[in-house]
Amino acid sequence: MSNRVDYIRVSIEEMERTIEDLQVICEHEFNMTKSHGELKESLVSNVYLGNSEVLKNQDNLLFTISCFKCSLTKYCSVAYTCPKCFIGLDSGDDSSIELREKYWGSSYIYYGSRIHSCSNNDFAIVNDVWDQ
pLDDT for the residue 132 = 66
More confident residue, 127 or 9: 127
Domain count across the chain = 1
Average pLDDT of the chain, as a whole number: 84
- The secondary structure of residue 93, as a DSSP letter, is S
Question: Domain range for residue 24?
Answer: 2-130
pLDDT for 74 = 93
Chain segment 22-32, per-residue pLDDT in tens: 899 999 999 99
**In the chain, beta strands by DSSP E:** 30-35, 48-49, 62-67, 73-77, 90-91, 111-117, 124-130
